[in-house]
Amino acid sequence: MSERRRVVVTGIGFRSPIGSTLKAMKESLQNGRGGVRIMPEWNGIDHLRTRVAGVCSDVDEKVIPRNYRRSMGRVSILAAIAAMEAVADSGISEEEIGSPSCGVSFGSTAGSSQAMEGFVKDVFSTRSLKGLQSSIYLQFMSHTCAANLAMMFHTKGPVIASCTACVSGSQGVGFGYEAIKEGRALMMLAGGAEEMHFMDAGIFDIMRATSTKYNDRPDLTPRPFDADRDGLVVGEGAGCLVLEEYEHARARGARIYSEVIGYGTNCDGSHLTNPSSDGMAGAITIALKDAGLTAQDIGHVNAHATATDAGDLAEATATNKVFGSSVPVSALKGFTGHTLGACGALESIETILMMNEHFIAASKNLEHPDPQLPPLNHVMGDARDFNFDIGMNNNFAFGGINTSLIFRKA
């Protein structure tokens, strides 16, 4: 077996409801400024109970060359902008990005819901294919983000599309890490994306899993781990990390944001929607083993924490099982909402940012920890100055799929 190769993060790009630069993200996390707003765009949707969401405002699709943009819906546009900025940030040459040494590992819950809505509406209302654009399927196919990024950057290495609901982004990062660690690539564009569409909220609304009590007070929801939580708030965004083999990065004098040192993923194998604390704890344990660490080595845990009853209970139980109530825990969806396929990438970026800037953000809207949940060392109130060298980001999804990523300060 070949020697395990080290994997580092050398480029970061993103779009989120709390900004599109690390400076803006830091200011939001430190000052408690969220990006959830009322959605008047949904006023015409009957029987939709939730009316708030996290939306990205800084999205100029024209920065993407038109010949590539034709095959992109909004989810791929968000992914492309994030990836363009991450690649530019990394300083890797165009020739290397377009070589067999570079691949793509990128996820989304699905393709473009907006593009699919238009396609289905036209076809099923007219029962005709007349006038349909030939590129429309490319916008809503399940691997639209990964495929469009590969074409736009002319990458010739492995292409991995993770379409695994709320762990799409974290698996994008994790699978990219594994590709480099195991010698299949030197560089990977890794992450995840999600676009805003009323059906993203509608699916959870039908399940009675969305927040509805705060439709007129969007800054107060979602409320992860809080006794007054009433469900999730959907969000959109994209995050891209340029992952690179350590010696390759060092040889070209690259700036290194952090090292990816552990990844764990598994399946509960028990229920499609009811989460398992044992499965969650299992993924965390796998990541710790991959990194060669114990629970005591982790300085901070970035929790998935959707603010649903079942999800928060299972996660608090799993986190307490592995860490007890010692390690500081932040749940950051109170800032952005649940960005679904993007959250694993965005929350990984938040973890790296907090680690490098020596602070941990408080769990926005966590005022009264639910006494029915196992105790955790919640970060509440204001952001906390805190120096830690190793951070963990956990994400969990429908299908019983669990992920845990571990980052170490460069």
d(CA 408, CA 124): 51
Q: Which residues is 309 bridged to in the sheet?
A: none
Q: Which of 300, 304, 343, 378 is catalytic?
A: 304
* Spatial CB neighbours of 281, under 8 Å, sequence gap ≥ 6: 317, 318, 319, 321, 322
Amino acid at 53: A
Q: Which of 143, 300, 338, 378 is catalytic?
A: 338
Cα 339 from chain centroid (whole Å): 7
Buried b / exposed e across 164-191, counting CB within 10 Å, b at 16+? bbbbbbbbbbbbbbbbbbeeebbbbbbb
Q: Is the dihedral of CA 339, 343, 346, 351 positive or negative?
A: positive
Q: Which residues is 393 bridged to in the sheet?
A: 302, 405
DSSP H or E segment with residue 384: strand 384-385
> In angstroms, how far is the first alpha carbon of the chain from the final one?
27
Q: Which of 166, 240, 300, 378 is catalytic?
A: 166
Specify whether the CB–CB gap between 38 and 48 falls below 8 A: no
* Spatial CB neighbours of 163, under 8 Å, sequence gap ≥ 6: 107, 108, 109, 110, 142, 143, 341
d(CA 241, CA 10): 7
338 is catalytic: yes
Q: Which two tokens stand for residue 18?
A: 């709390």
Q: Please tell me the chain's helix, strand, coil percentages from 3-state DSSP, rounded to the nearest 5.
A: 40, 25, 40
- CA neighbor of 141 nearest in space, from 108, 110, 104, 109: 110
Active site residues: 166, 304, 338
